[in-house]
Amino acid sequence: MKTPENIYLVGPMGAGKSTTGRQLAKVLGKQFIDCDAEIEASTGADISLIFELEGEEGFRRREGAMLKRLAEKQDVVLATGGGAVLDRDNRSLLITRGFVIYLYAPIEYLVKRTARDRNRPLLQTDDPRSRLEAIVAERDPLYRQIADLVITTDKRSARYVVKEIVKKLGAI
C-alpha cells in the first residue's frame, strides 16, 4: 500500500484527531505531531492561557505560523487544531502539502467527549452544546471542502477508526 507522504487530520474538538493520529502514525510508521501541543511547547503556555492573553485572533496567528512550519516536515500524521480551517491560507496549505482526512462526529458525541475538558477555551460558556453547534455549523463546510477523505468517529474506538482509514487509503 502506498500511503500519502503527509496526512493531516481536521475536525472539531472532541472528534479524536490526537488519539486517532497517534495510533495512525504508529500503524503507518510515520511521525505524529499535534499542532496544539507544538504551540504549547514553543510558547511555554497552554492554549487556554494564550486565548486569555491574546484572544482567539492572537492564537490563530500562532496556529497559522506553526502550521507553516509543520507542513515543511515529511512523512507525518498531523493533528490540526479544530479552528485551523478558518483561515484560507491554512486551508490552502493543508490541501497542497498533504492528504486531508476529516474526522466527523455528531454533536452528541462531541458534547460528551468535551464535557469535562477545561482546556477548551471556546467551550468555557454557560451553554457549551450551543457553542459546539455554532462551531460545527461554521466549520463543517470548510472541513468537507478540503477533505480527501471523511471518516465518522462516533461510537467507534480509535483502533477501529485507524483500521478504516488504512483500508480506505489502500483503496485510493
Sheet holding 99-104, edge to edge: 31-34, 76-79, 7-10, 99-104, 149-152
Instruction: Please tell me the distance from the alpha carbon of residue 8 to that of residue 2, in angstroms, as a whole number.
Output: 16
Identify the band that residue 111 occupies on the pLDDT scale cut at 50, 70 and 90.
confident
Look at residue 1 in the predicted model and tell me its pLDDT. Answer: 46
Instruction: Please tell me the distance from the alpha carbon of residue 6 to that of residue 46, in angstroms, as a whole number.
Output: 26
Q: How far is CA 139 from CA 27, 118, 135, 159, in A?
A: 29, 21, 6, 26
- Give the tens place of pLDDT for each residue, 64-84: 999 999 999 999 999 999 999
Mean residue pLDDT across the chain: 89
- Give the tens place of pLDDT for each residue, 2-60: 568 999 999 998 889 999 999 999 999 999 999 999 999 999 999 888 988 998 899 99
Look at residue 126 in the predicted model and tell me its pLDDT. Answer: 65
Look at residue 54 in the predicted model and tell me its pLDDT. Answer: 93
pLDDT higher than 60, residue 145: yes
pLDDT higher than 70, residue 124: no
Cell of 68: 507553516
With pLDDT > 90 as the criterion, what percentage of the chain qualifies?
67
Q: Which residues contact 168 (CB under 8 A, 6 or more apart)?
A: 149, 151
H/E element, 76: strand 76-79
Look at residue 51 in the predicted model and tell me its pLDDT. Answer: 85
Q: Looking at the DSSP assignment, which residues form a beta bridge with residue 50?
A: none
Strands 76-79 and 7-10, by their bridges, are: parallel
Q: Looking at the DSSP assignment, which residues form a beta bridge with residue 78?
A: 8, 33
pTM: predicted TM-score of the whole model, two decimal places: 0.91
Look at residue 154 in the predicted model and tell me its pLDDT. Answer: 83
Look at residue 117 in the predicted model and tell me its pLDDT. Answer: 58
pLDDT higher than 60, residue 97: yes
